[in-house]
Structure 1
Amino acid sequence: MEKLVTCFYQRPEAVSRLICFPWAGSGSAHYAHWGKLFDSSTEVYSIRLPGRESRSRESFAQNMDQIVMEIISVLLSKLKEKPFAFFGHSFGSFTSFATAVKLKEICGVEPVHLFVSGASAPHSKARDSLQTTLALGDEDFLKWMTTVGGAPAEMLQSREILEMFVPVLKADLRVLDNFVYEKPSGTVLSCDITCFDGTEDVPHDLEAWKELTSGDFNIYSLPGGHLYLKEPANEKTIVNYIAKHLKTTEMTYL
């Protein structure tokens, strides 16, 4: 499990778990630090995908199914132990959703809450093809990323960071671009879904997420662009919101 999951604050006696899925190009460290922001009732797992951090020598995932099946094969026994929720931003919204759907389909297990951020629903027509963008040279590609708020501008100043970051980011975006989700006639999940988004990010079709669950649905906008969740005030708001909802869920299991 240590290969797939980073958990800086292990809490085996926790009542629930929050599983966090990285945005495109990122590793597991950012979300792993969230563990200190929750109390002892919640344990935070941060997913580490192949091709980064301690898995840097591994080949990148080629498709969404490869990501989903690794997560399920490694974490299924843990997910059956106690209530769990998923959080994902941007690319992580899609990987968390795809994992939730496959879990329910093959195991009859689903998160108590799906928290998604900075992404249109997977079946929405608002999703754009990334083929032209992925064909750009590395520097032009990263300049495009800074214009849409997906990468800090200071990355352009470091050749070393550029060479490390771009291949990982492009690999994740290829997976995303090839991920096609055909929504069935009914809802696919029964858990609650909450969408977060930055007010200055490019527009996302958040309402379409409501079509994917029979559970409650909410949308919350916070100030900032695509990486708005890295702002301390926004991070605190998101964590407090998740903690509140997990507390409510935990009470039903005690």
Structure 2
Amino acid sequence: MPTPALTQHTSPVAPARRLVCFPHAGGAASFYRDWRQFTQPEVELIAVQYPGRENRMREPLVPTLEKLVLALTEELLALPPLPTVFFGHSMGAAVAYETLLRIEHTGATHVTRLCVSGRAPQRPPRASARTDEEVVAAVLALGGTHASVFEDPDLRELLLPIIANDYRLIDAYRPATEVPLLRASVHALTGSDDPQVTPEEAGQWRATTSGPFALTVLDGDHFYLVPEADQVARAALEPELRLPV
């Protein structure tokens, strides 16, 4: 039986809100563990664990983003409904968005906000699959993994297939053009010096929702959210956005 995809970082006795976090390519649920110190006591903090890493290490990697999203949708809908925020960084932004589309399609309304970080809603298609060396170069260029990880043969052998699979998923991903607008509000966040997405491109998430939209630009590169974790977590859980009058 597969291990649950949802890792619970906090377990309030009487939770009032839920924050569900979706990791970047090559990332894991533990990336969001330290956010416990930035959330209120009544917030249930959950992080998604993709197959093939940490406590799901023995599970096969998922071949398509669609299959990943369908499994996450089923598991998330099985939770007791609470006012919920989705937060996704980089690849996680696309996974969170597609998951929310499917959840809203069921008629559920408890996910009230989508926070998308470090990614534009549309990306130009990639002509060919990345080689292992191209994957390593892409990861290092974004500052997500220190070079020493790939210099260690054992760590490279362990981590590279996982990261390469995630890159294949996101390189092949194309958001559908004919989809309903989200009802949930959308808050786009990005680093001022992110080489992968400009603030203007992050602002294009405005077109994905009929609800309120906000854009926050913080100092830093693609992984700006590591030094700014406190500010990012608090932004995700700030009072609900309102449409301008």
Please give the TM-score of this superposition, normalised by the length of structure 1.
Answer: 0.85
Cα deviations by residue, 1:61-96 (Å, 9 ceiling, x for unpaired): 111221112112222131x52111100000000000
Q: Which residue of 2 aligns with 1:116?
A: 116
- 8 Å contact from structure 1 (residues 143, 156) kept in 2: no
Distance in 1 between the 2:233 and 2:138 partners? 30
Give the Å deviation of 1:39. Answer: 1.6
How many residue pairs align between the two structures? 238
Matched, 1:193 2:186: yes
Give the Å deviation of 1:139. Answer: 3.8
Q: Which residue of 1 aligns with 2:169?
A: 175
Distance in 2 between the 1:110 and 1:87 partners? 15
Q: Calculate percent identity across the aligned residue pairs.
A: 24
Give the Å deviation of 1:225. Answer: 1.2
Q: Which residue of 2 aligns with 1:217?
A: 213
Cα deviations by residue, 1:121-178 (Å, 9 ceiling, x for unpaired): 1xx2xx133454x432x34431232124343333233222222221111111111122
Distance in 1 between the 2:110 and 2:174 partners? 21
Q: Which residue of 1 aligns with 2:49?
A: 48
Matched, 1:244 2:245: no
- Equivalent of residue 203 in structure 2, options 197, 200, 207: 207
The one-letter amino acid paired with 2:192 is: T
Aligned to 1:209, the other structure's residue is in SS state: helix
Gaps of 5+ in 1: 250-254
Matched, 1:89 2:89: yes
Judging changes above 3 Å, is the alpha-carbon distance between structure 1 residues 140 and 182 closer, same or farther for their aligned structure 2 residues?
closer
Matched, 1:144 2:145: no
Distance in 2 between the 1:206 and 1:110 partners? 25
Distance in 2 between the 1:58 and 1:83 partners? 31
The one-letter amino acid paired with 2:99 is: T
Distance in 2 between the 1:245 and 1:157 partners? 44
Judging changes above 3 Å, is the alpha-carbon distance between structure 1 residues 52 and 141 closer, same or farther for their aligned structure 2 residues?
same
Q: Which residue of 2 aligns with 1:252?
A: none
Please give the TM-score of this superposition, normalised by the length of structure 2.
Answer: 0.88
Distance in 2 between the 1:37 and 1:54 partners? 24
Query: Aligned-pair RMSD on alpha carbons?
Result: 2.2
Judging changes above 3 Å, is the alpha-carbon distance between structure 1 residues 51 and 2 closer, same or farther for their aligned structure 2 residues?
closer
